[in-house]
Amino acid sequence: MQRRQFIMLGLGAGVGLSLGLTLYPVLQSSTQQRSDAATLVLDALLPALLQGALPAEAAAQQAALRRSRDAVLQFLPFLPRRQQAELQQLFLLLQQRLGQLALLGHWLSLNEMPLQSRLQLLSSWRDSYLATLQQAYHGLRELLYGAYYGQPQHWPALKYQPLEFNPYV
């Protein structure tokens, strides 16, 4: 096993066990900390998950990522409070551990972490024996793809042209 793969598995298992054991991070965190954690994690995962879908031009790509992240954050309050707490907990733990991972992997920040490493992390959750990690993979994946493909700016690639009886404002 390569060193990086090992780190990824360790990260996954750590998050999984923490999720299974305690809500401590959520209870101890402020609203701002929770919001920052969600933003950081979404900003780290969206570019990886959306590889191949994002526009090529840099400014358009950044705009698409920002729109998707904002759409996730706006959607979260509609989930049951139980699920919101679980996601906040996941974001806080990932924030901490992604930071550690960046250091262990000798990247100065998350932004420098290769997209392939981030995808590898998600794949390790999908294939984990821990139900919590599989839930995290599927839950985040649905949220992030739903947020991206909910935006009309991203429909030309699909050639999806819906009728519009009432404009969305």
**Stretch near another protein under the rule CB under 8 A, chosen from 5-13, 26-34, 90-98, 155-163:** 155-163
Burial 41-72 (b: 16+ CB within 10 A, else e): bbebbbbbbbeeebbeeeeeeeebbebbbebb
Contact 3, 117 (CB under 8 A): no
Site string for another protein, 4-43 (x = CB under 8 A): ----------------------------------------
Site for another protein in 62-91 (CB under 8 A): 71, 75, 77-83
Distance CA 85, CA 80 (A): 9
Contact between 150 and another protein per CB under 8 A: yes
Give the phi and the psi of residue 56 in degrees, each rounded to 5: -75, -35
Instruction: Return the H-helix or E-strand segment holding 44.
Output: helix 31-49
In the list 1, 30, 52, 106, the residue contacting another protein (rule: CB under 8 A) is: 52
Contact between 146 and another protein per CB under 8 A: yes
Residues in contact with another protein by CB under 8 A are 48-53, 71, 75, 77-83, 119, 122-123, 126, 131, 134-135, 137-139, 141-142, 145-146, 148-152, 154-155, 157-160, 162-168
